[in-house]
Amino acid sequence: MYNTAMLTKDLMAASSKPLLLSILAGGESYGYEIIQKVRELSGGQIEWSDGMLYPVLHRLERDGLIESEWKESDTGRERKYYFISSDGRKALKTERQQWLAVHNSLCKLWKIKPVSA
């Protein structure tokens, strides 16, 4: 179960915002589905604890970046769906620039001095 390549706590906290906003930018979703998606995308390297996701979602909602609504799914079960707001899309754009800046810098550095596997 334990994965050595798992993200540190700080990195997990920092990356949750762009990840959530990006997922919701692709369409509305609910907690369980979001977690599954993150797990799938990262190949299990980003393992969010399920209950911790909601405080993050609620904070984004409070900041006006996402909105939520209780809706009945096609299976008849009620779920709380989240969707991105226009402010959220703006925030995502900024996040994207910042993360790409870090990513590109690291790439350049590591091309010069690659880490041996």
Least separation in angstroms between residue 5's CB and other proteins is 20
Say whether 28 sits in a helix, a strand or coil: coil
2 binds other proteins (CB under 8 A): no
Distance CA 63, CA 66 (A): 8
> Which one of residues 1, 4, 5, 49 is an interface residue with other proteins (CB under 8 A)?
49
> Which one of residues 3, 11, 45, 78 is an interface residue with other proteins (CB under 8 A)?
78
Of the pair 47, 99, the CB lying nearest other proteins is at 47
For residue 22, what are the CA distances in angstroms to 10, 28, 48, 115? 19, 11, 16, 30
